[in-house]
């Protein structure tokens, strides 16, 4: 595929001569049998179709292979539209039948990601509608970012997917290709809408490796919920990128720094939570940083040493024993009453109450009593 640089390095060549183009641009007769139209029909140069005339049964209609086909390697080149920033892509170039070459006022190249997509118009400058046509043809709908093409009338083979990818990859970057071999249909999803619109026109009434004339239409939305969620996420991401592209660089850099700081904080908290040790599904004890392991900290009746990163064995064993007892099956009301009565009876038999001893206190001796005890008429004194 030719790059945009190659498109401006050489002039675009004329894909066909003017006297061979079907329609009013031809120098010779273009109506009737010689021009390919039928009596009563009018050629629409914009859509490259004959319109009007008598109606025909669609079941009896057969598609005719287009006599032209675009070759991006040979046909890509510089035109007058290259110097016009508002120029759209040439629809006749996509079909392979532009007779103007470098004098064309439209772009003769494949759309790239640098091309801005207009929501109201397609890649060729045609107005998009609010809804898809009933036959899923035309320019598409503004309500959906049409990037998936339905490819019908495929010849089934073991290499069908590779064949479709070979023919459709030249119109832009593919996102995925899905083939239903039993039904002879396929779905081609491009990364950008402009490439899908270009490929729809370029592959209209074209054939693949087995000469089958494929039917190209817009695909309906994928009913798979996973794909719908994926498409929604992609739409949100594209919207975010579009908004960021219009913001000043200072705002984008500040937002990136904020996101990096938040991510670093989340990673730090996750690391702390992963390294903390828990016992019996209890939260880890709160540690005092910088304590040098000289303290034990109580949490849930067990201690933790920050320096050794270990729990106190004695206190931990006591805590686990009590936890095991508390986790046992609780006693019924009758069992608790029996246990209370047995405890009361055992206490009354084995440990009778002992009366407290009362210490006798002697009255203090007074001076008068001492004098009364002394007798002046004592016999001992008389003997003296």
- For 284-333, write each residue's pLDDT tens digit: 555 444 444 444 444 545 556 655 666 667 777 777 777 776 666 666 67
Count Cα neighbours of 313 within 13 Å in the Cβ-side half-sphere: 0
Which whole-number Å values give the CA distances from 126 to 32, 121, 122, in the listed order?
Answer: 28, 5, 5
Q: Report d(CA 383, CA 14) in Å as an integer.
A: 175
First CA to last CA distance, the chain: 159
CB 168 within 8 A of CB 110: no
Whether the CA torsion 193, 136, 168, 94 is positive or negative: it is negative
Burial 138-158 (b: 16+ CB within 10 A, else e): bbbbbeebbbbbbbeebeeee
Residue 345: Cβ within 10 Å count? 10
According to DSSP, residue 27 is labeled S
Q: Report d(CA 89, CA 82) in Å as an integer.
A: 10
CB 129 within 8 A of CB 135: no
Of 47, 256, 236, 37, nearest to 138 (Cα)? 47
Q: Report d(CA 34, CA 29) in Å as an integer.
A: 7
Burial class (CB in 10 A: 0-12, 13-18, 19+), 218: buried
pLDDT at residue 293 in the model: 45
The residues pairing with 108 across neighbouring beta strands, listed in sequence order, are 77
Token duo for residue 235: 């739409």
Give pLDDT < 50 ranges for the chain.
1-2, 23-34, 59-60, 277-280, 287-298, 300, 371-372, 374, 376, 381-384
Q: What residue ranges define each of the domains in the chain, with the CATH number in brackets?
A: 144-246 (3.30.70.330)
Q: Report d(CA 306, CA 118) in Å as an integer.
A: 64
CB 49 within 8 A of CB 56: no
Residue at token pair 């009746």: 301
Residue 163: Cβ within 10 Å count? 17
pLDDT at residue 193 in the model: 92
Token duo for residue 243: 């908004």
According to DSSP, residue 139 is labeled T
Residue 55: Cβ within 10 Å count? 5
Q: Report d(CA 124, CA 309) in Å as an integer.
A: 71
Q: What is the pTM of this model?
A: 0.56
Of 87, 124, 106, nearest to 15 (Cα)? 106
Helix spans in 98-157 (H)? none
Q: Report d(CA 199, CA 187) in Å as an integer.
A: 13
Of 112, 201, 189, nearest to 149 (Cα)? 189
**pLDDT, tens only, 134-180:** 888 888 888 887 899 999 999 988 899 999 999 999 999 999 999 99
DSSP states along 310-326: EE-HHHHHHHHHHHHHH
pLDDT at residue 132 in the model: 86
Round the CA-based radius of gyration of the chain to a whole number and report it: 49
Token duo for residue 300: 């849930």
How far does CA 361 lie from the centroid of its chain? 95
Q: Report d(CA 272, CA 187) in Å as an integer.
A: 49
């Amino acid at each position: 595929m030719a790059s945009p640089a190659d498109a401006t390095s050489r002039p675009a060549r004329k894909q066909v001569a003017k006297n061979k183009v079907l329609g009013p641009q031809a120098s010779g007769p273009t109506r009737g049998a010689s021009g390919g139209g039928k009596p009563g029909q009018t050629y629409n140069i914009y859509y490259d179709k004959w319109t009007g005339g008598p109606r025909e049964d669609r079941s009896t209609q057969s598609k005719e292979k287009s006599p032209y086909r675009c070759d991006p390697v040979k046909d890509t080149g510089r035109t007058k539209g290259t110097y016009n920033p508002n120029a759209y892509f040439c629809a006749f170039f996509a079909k392979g039948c532009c007779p103007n070459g470098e004098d064309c006022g439209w772009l003769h190249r494949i759309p790239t990601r640098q091309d801005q997509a207009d929501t109201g118009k397609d890649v060729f400058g045609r107005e998009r509608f609010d809804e898809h046509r009933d036959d899923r043809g035309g320019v598409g709908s503004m309500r959906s970012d049409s990037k998936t093409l339905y490819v019908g009338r495929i010849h089934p083979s073991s290499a069908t997917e590779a064949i479709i990818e070979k023919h459709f990859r030249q119109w832009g970057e593919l996102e995925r290709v899905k083939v239903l071999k039993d039904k002879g249909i396929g779905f081609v999803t491009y990364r950008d809408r402009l490439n899908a619109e270009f490929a729809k026109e370029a592959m209209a009434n074209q054939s693949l490796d087995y000469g089958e004339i494929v039917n190209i239409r817009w695909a309906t939305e994928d009913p798979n919920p996973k794909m719908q969620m994926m498409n929604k996420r992609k739409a949100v991401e594209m919207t975010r990128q579009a908004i960021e592209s219009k913001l000043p660089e200072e705002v984008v850099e500040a937002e990136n720094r904020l996101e990096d700081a938040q991510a670093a904080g989340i990673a730090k908290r996750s690391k702390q939570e992963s390294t903390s040790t828990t016992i019996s599904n209890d939260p880890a004890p709160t540690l005092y940083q910088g304590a040098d392991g000289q303290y034990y900290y109580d949490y849930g009746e067990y201690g933790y040493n920050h320096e050794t990163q270990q729990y106190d064995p004695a206190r931990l064993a006591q805590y686990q024993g009590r936890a095991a007892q508390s986790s046992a099956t609780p006693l019924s009301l009758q069992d608790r009453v029996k246990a209370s009565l047995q405890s009361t009876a055992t206490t009354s038999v084995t440990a009778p109450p002992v009366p407290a001893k009362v210490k006798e206190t002697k009255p203090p001796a007074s001076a008068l009593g001492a004098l009364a005890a002394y007798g002046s008429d004592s016999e001992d004194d008389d003997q003296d």
